[in-house]
A and B are shown apart, each in its own frame.
Chain A
């Protein structure tokens, strides 16, 4: 009788994870904004990107950023849809659409990051 009284399996994980990813993204996105606009070149030239991407830590940070932002964003969109009474075929269509587009763009973004070559540089950056 009390079996269904806990909140497991009712979306509580995504509720918690939405907050955790959100808090991480606040820090990362403001840092991202400052860094990308610190000089006119830092976010808008190939050489600046190339220099940053020589560091694997930078690649890991950017890959994490893409994945977390996409998850947080699409989970948020799903949260909006969930406010409305949906028929099961609508649920399946919307979730399918979000997963397909989310995965495609996440993989595209990850490919863009990983395609940037490692080059031999004389100076540190």
Chain B
């Protein structure tokens, strides 16, 4: 099933074109890397998918519908910045997710928190950056959603935490869901991805499976990316 479908999708901020006539279709059951340098339009695409912003031209559809109430109910979004109240304890955060999202699987969240020795009494602001990032990811992945939009989930955490985060993604996505991971840390996510989408200056440069890229170029996706985007 087509979980995300863009046709001629364009977003301008004043005179700046952040996304430029993008055609892209992504299917369920896949983990897709949204890859591009800073300012290439990755976050803009994700924000359009969550209806935080609206297209200037063209269309974007989530599971066959325009972004809105219905699609928000099936979209689990991890923003690239802090979005949870810093003075809340884990227990209240769980309550927040329980109240907001019908598909929140609290047991899943509790199991993951326990495996990391994160107590429900812990306050977000007293956690290290890596632990905070893990808590956010746990909350995001504990929803039984149809589309997961993870904006830079591994930026700014150490390699061990990265590993944990990626394994959590593999373990928790369901086979009828689409996971989109935006990042510029390609070497770290490469093995986890089905497909890679390269964008530059708001334009689609490449959309292929990771193994096709490796087969055809004789290089890793990371190396290929460095060549395509050489400054």
Chains A and B bind each other: no
B residues neighboring A (CB under 8 Å): none
